[in-house]
């Protein structure tokens, strides 16, 4: 079994400085047993869709998916806001291209990577609202995530700043090195703006590079 590492306030970038709280996890169920979910602080959670919620490989089976869904629900129920972040391509499900791709990438719940259709977002939104009727939901679905290797998407920066300005906790849940770099860039931006980096948390499954 892979050992869980507790890495408080670690910089995953090039400078040796304290930037954010980071922890390697084996499953989503561990997250609500950690800070900031044990405190009374308001939390905004940024989820990587593929690799965390929709995982490929040996863990893509009924049992693992069921327990991952329960953990996903518990995280949402303890969050005040959620942002679904993905490099997927938005595609018109009423268009000719989707009619061609649907047999491969379409499914009843959420469309398969690398595409996202509106009905998939609506189903994800519906599940989220059932878990937490009062939660604020945002989507950031585009190739902008890949650009996070160099500079995070403007939406993520702007949203993150607002969260930290209101002294809320900002939680990134990712699966890859890219997710860690995006978190680092957000933390660097927060530090430049004089915001509290100790309110930034990163949980990473390390299951996929992207």
Q: Which residues does residue 44 pair with via DSSP β-bridges, in sequence order?
A: 81, 170
> Mind giving me the DSSP string for 64-91?
HHHHHHHHHHHHHHT-SEEEEEE-PEE-
pLDDT reported for residue 180: 86
d(CA 122, CA 50): 17
Residue 185 vs residues 20, 99, 158: alpha-carbon distances, Å: 10, 38, 12
Mind listing the pLDDT tens digit for each residue in 16-25?
566 899 999 9
Which residue positions in the chain have pLDDT lower than 50?
Answer: 1-15, 209-210
pLDDT reported for residue 5: 44
pLDDT reported for residue 202: 95
Mind listing the pLDDT tens digit for each residue in 31-57?
999 999 999 899 999 998 887 877 655
pLDDT reported for residue 141: 85
pLDDT reported for residue 2: 38
pLDDT reported for residue 8: 46
147, 140 Cβ separation under 8 angstroms:
no
Domains of the chain with CATH codes: 20-204 (3.40.50)
pTM of the model: 0.84
């Amino acid at each position: 079994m892979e050992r869980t590492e507790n890495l408080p306030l670690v910089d995953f970038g090039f400078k040796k400085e304290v930037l954010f709280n980071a922890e390697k996890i084996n499953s989503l169920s561990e997250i609500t047993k950690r800070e900031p979910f044990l405190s009374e602080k308001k939390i905004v959670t940024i989820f990587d869709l593929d690799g965390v919620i929709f995982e490929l490989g040996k863990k893509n089976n009924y049992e693992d998916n069921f327990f991952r869904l329960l953990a996903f629900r518990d995280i949402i129920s303890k969050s005040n806001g959620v942002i679904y972040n993905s490099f997927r391509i938005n595609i018109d499900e009423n268009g000719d291209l989707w009619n061609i791709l649907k047999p491969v990438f379409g499914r009843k719940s959420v469309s398969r990577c690398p595409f996202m259709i509106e009905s998939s977002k609506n189903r994800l939104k519906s599940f989220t609202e059932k878990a937490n009727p009062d939660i604020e939901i945002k989507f950031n679905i585009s190739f902008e995530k890949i650009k996070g290797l160099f500079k995070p998407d403007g939406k993520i920066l702007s949203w993150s700043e607002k969260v930290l300005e209101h002294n809320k906790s900002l939680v990134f849940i990712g699966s890859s090195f890219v997710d860690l770099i995006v978190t680092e860039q957000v933390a660097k931006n927060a530090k430049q703006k004089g915001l509290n980096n100790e309110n930034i948390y990163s949980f990473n499954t390390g299951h996929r590079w992207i």
